[in-house]
Amino acid sequence: MASDLKMALIQENFLVGDTFGNTEKIISLAKQQAQQGMDLVVFPELAITGYPPEDLLLRPAFLRQIEECIKKISHQVSGIDIVFGAPRSGTGDEAGKLFNSAFWLRDGQVLAVYDKKDLPNYAVFDEKRYFSAGQGASIVEIKGHKMALLVCEDIWQSEPAMQAMNAGAQHLLVLNASPFHQHKNQQRLAELKQRAAETGCNIFYLNMFGGQDELVFDGNSLIVASNQTLISRAAAFQADIINSVLQADGSLSSDHNAPAEQSHLADVYQALVLGVKDYVDKNAFKGVLIGLSGGVDSALTLAIAADAVGSDRVRAVMMPSRYTADMSFEDAESEAKLLGVQYQVISIEQPFEAFLETLHEPLLKGTDADTTEENIQARCRGLMLMAISNKTGFMVLTTGNKSEMAVGYATLYGDMSGGFAPLKDISKTLVYDLCRYRNSLDHVIPERVLTRPPSAELAPGQVDQDNLPPYDVIDAILEMSVEKDMPVAAIVEAGYDLDTVERIISMVQRNEYKRRQAAPGVRITRRAFGRDRRYPITSGYRRNKIK
């Protein structure tokens, strides 16, 4: 006879590699839930190691730590069932194999272990490098309710859920480390409703949250009833706990309602803020340093930084040259004041002139000014920022966006110098949308920054569109080519000029070497430069003819 089951789904932030710290967090939270009368407490996929642990999993000492941590949880958590994710080293016939597993413990005993079946090996995932696929279903009965364990990718395929249902499961408990990209929450909900329809099971979907290098995990944990009703949704981009009751008759109630999803721009902005915050804090930087130009990219980066780590941990430096417009001075100072960050002005004119003088006889004499002189200015700024970073312990945030990085409109060892790139996966057009979104919360970016033509200000009267097509054209072509892998012919059929398409794609191909040397940055699209897109630098392949 079933009775009411009180459950707590713990949406938390775990630091990759910090097995002992993560374990202490799991034990502390589990004890709190036991004191509050919960019957079952659940933690996300690979909670003990954080996700993704990558090649740490190849270190025997790391695997031994994991085994110690599982024993510690079993010894210290009692009076409540606990489920958590951790790697499992195979024994016996499975010796030498490693599994991505979910452990179910009760009063020091392991009641069940479920090994992830579907190992993702696409986009940012490469789990087949480390893990072996599991077999069979794993079902635990608690207070008369039969619950099956699944891990992340298993819920996005029909077979594991159907196998659990056929083994007698009434409910699916799904542990996840599912990274964010735009519109992913809608996709998840649709898939969960489909699994509920197929299996007739209630689904408890628990995701982690937090930033890990280029990935951001958004939380947004969900409970979906067997009739496909959304019962509960956890907060986005923050820690949360969903307390729910699975009643004796199988019906569900929760202390969380199912609020309307927030806007796409709010999701993206919060992902950027969380990505920056966790990169800075988890790597123990004192704060961040930004080269403030008066342009739109550095303005958005400054706002993200202030929101992520607090204005008192942000330093902005304006580094004007002979080409810097008065409005750039004014707007940069205004941005710094509005956000309350420390602000300095350090001219690059003297070092720039020194470089020109030093290089005049051996290189520059008798030549016309070109990108060489422009890049020297950018590198003067990069050198200054890195010097300040070395002296203060503040990490440099680069300010380049995805559009610029795609076509190589950036200077190696100049504006690309830095430790993290918040806008690395943000197109130029999305930069403007995010600025307007941020200003809708409170006005921190001067309107003129959003209306003036973008310019690197490295030459007299220079604007970006002197050398590039309009950004809305660039961004549309990049989305089709880079993110969707559409052939040239299809992009042209979508209404874009053949010469422009071939030019943009050729620029993308030529600048792979720059992107390989770029700082990591927050991933918010389905295909970012970095883990998602791994093209060779040296390549004879060219896709600049219609195919």
Q: Which residues are catalytic?
A: 45, 116, 152
Helix (H, G, I), strand (E, B) or coil at 457: coil
Cα–Cα distances (Å) from 272 to 50, 109, 301, 304, 434, in that order, read 20, 41, 9, 7, 10
Residue 426 CB neighbours (<10 A):
29
Residue 460 CB neighbours (<10 A):
8
Residue 444 backbone phi and psi in degrees, to 5: -125, -5
d(CA 501, CA 194) in angstroms, rounded, equals: 39
Ramachandran area for residue 133 (φ above 0: left; ψ -120 to 50: alpha; else beta): beta
Ramachandran area for residue 7 (φ above 0: left; ψ -120 to 50: alpha; else beta): beta
Three-state SS sequence of 230-294: EEEECCECCCEEEEEEECCCCCEEECCCCCCCCCHHHHHHHHHHHHHHHHHHHCCCCEEEEECCC
Task: Copy the structure tokens of residue 168.
Answer: 């007698």
Which residues, including other chains, have CB under 8 Å from residue 197's CB and lie 6 or more apart?
228
The helix or strand, by DSSP H or E, that contains position 137, with its residue range, turns out to be none
CB 532 within 8 A of CB 507: no
CB 199 within 8 A of CB 188: no
d(CA 252, CA 224) in angstroms, rounded, equals: 9
Task: Copy the structure tokens of residue 422.
Answer: 């918040």
Name the one residue in this structure whose structure tokens are 């364990």. 149
Positive or negative torsion for Cα 536, 540, 546, 547: negative
d(CA 133, CA 126) in angstroms, rounded, equals: 13
Percent of the chain that is helix, strand, coil (3-state, to 5): 40, 20, 40
d(CA 320, CA 330) in angstroms, rounded, equals: 12
Which residues, including other chains, have CB under 8 Å from residue 383's CB and lie 6 or more apart?
351, 417
Long-range contacts of 362-369 (CB under 8 A, 24+ apart): 369/459
Nearest to 276 by CA among 303, 245, 250, 241: 303
